[in-house]
Each structure stands twice: as C-alpha cells, then as structure tokens.
C-alpha cells in the first residue's frame, strides 16, 4: 500500500531539478520564438564604392608585318626609266578614346635609294592625306580622328629608275597616334 501511495505522490510531485529544467526549456522556446520573429523582420545592409577610371587609350596596329615591293621585268615598260609596283595588302587599325587625334607615319631609313609612297584608302574615321613620300620626319597620314576605333587600307608604291641600278631599301615604318 505504501508503495501505491508513494508512486502516486511521486507522479504528482516532481523533484525541483526537473521543474527547473522544464522552465528552462520553456524559456528557451519563448526566446527562440521572439528572437526569430525579430531576426526575420530585421534586414542588414552594407555598401562599398566601386569606381571605374578610364585612362586615355591610344592603340595602333598594322595587319601585315612585311610588305615586299619587288620591281622586276614584269612591271617595267620598255623605253621608260621609271619602274613601279603597288601593294595594297596591308590594313592600319587604331583605337582612341580621346578626341582630335591624328596618325603620323615616318621611316627610319635616312638615305633611301628608291622612293616609297603611301596613301590611306577608305578610312572608317578621320580624313586621309593625299599620297605621301616616306621620310624620316613624321607626316600626317590621317587627321581628325575622334573617339573611335577604325581602319584604313594602305597602298604602298615603290618607284625605281633604271638608271639607279639594282639594290634593296628596307624601311621600318612607325605609325603614331598623337594630338592634332
């Protein structure tokens, strides 16, 4: 009988550490409910600065590395001293983000035996100069180039006279984009 009374009383009365544990669980549950609703409504923000800086860009490229102007009997006319040949296989490409630029051309060959002329054909931007004879002084090949990328075919003409004899001239040409 004491056993039945003891069991029924034990079930009604819990030891204090179990009641404390249950209260702690209940408090934890309530804190999670209140905190989760608070977190769900709060949005965090942050920011930083991104700056794009565009420097002046001037690029230039020639599509063909070597042009050979070979004057031979095939392009000579009997009875004429002047012999010439043309080549139009090269394209000049450029790009600039600055306004009022020009492209100049010059050779490194100080005392050529033969004459080489160049002209820019059908430029997509700017104005082409008339046909130029290569020189060690930079000459304006294209002017009034604005903020653009563009291209132009180059036509080279090699001129030699029979009276000059045979030989070879090798020019290193420099193209430069510069302010007008």
The domain segmentation of the chain, as residue ranges, is 2-41, 58-179
Alpha-carbon gap, residue 119 to 112, rounded angstroms: 19
Count other C-beta atoms under 10 Å from residue 67's C-beta.
17
Question: Which CATH number among 2.60.40, 3.30.70, 1.10.3470, 1.10.10 corresponds to the domain 58-179?
Answer: 2.60.40
pLDDT tens by residue, 31-42: 666 655 555 566
pLDDT tens by residue, 72-120: 887 778 888 899 999 999 999 999 999 899 999 999 999 999 999 999 9
What pLDDT is recorded for position 35? 58
């Amino acid at each position: 009988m004491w056993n039945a009374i003891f069991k029924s009383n034990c079930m009604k009365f819990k030891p204090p550490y179990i009641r404390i544990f249950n209260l702690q669980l209940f408090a934890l549950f309530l804190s999670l409910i209140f905190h989760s609703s608070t977190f769900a409504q709060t949005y965090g923000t942050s920011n930083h600065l991104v700056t794009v800086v565009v420097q002046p860009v001037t690029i230039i490229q020639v599509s063909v590395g070597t042009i050979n102007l070979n004057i031979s009997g095939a392009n000579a006319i009997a009875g004429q001293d002047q012999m010439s040949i043309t080549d139009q296989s090269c394209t000049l490409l450029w790009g600039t983000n600055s306004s009022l630029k020009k492209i100049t051309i010059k050779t490194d060959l100080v005392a050529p035996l033969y004459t080489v002329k160049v002209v820019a054909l059908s430029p997509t931007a700017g104005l082409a100069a008339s046909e130029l004879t290569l020189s060690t002084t930079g000459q304006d090949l294209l002017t009034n180039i604005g903020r653009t990328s563009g291209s132009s075919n180059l036509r080279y003409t090699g001129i030699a006279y029979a009276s000059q004899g045979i030989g070879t001239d090798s020019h290193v040409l420099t193209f430069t984009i510069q302010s007008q």
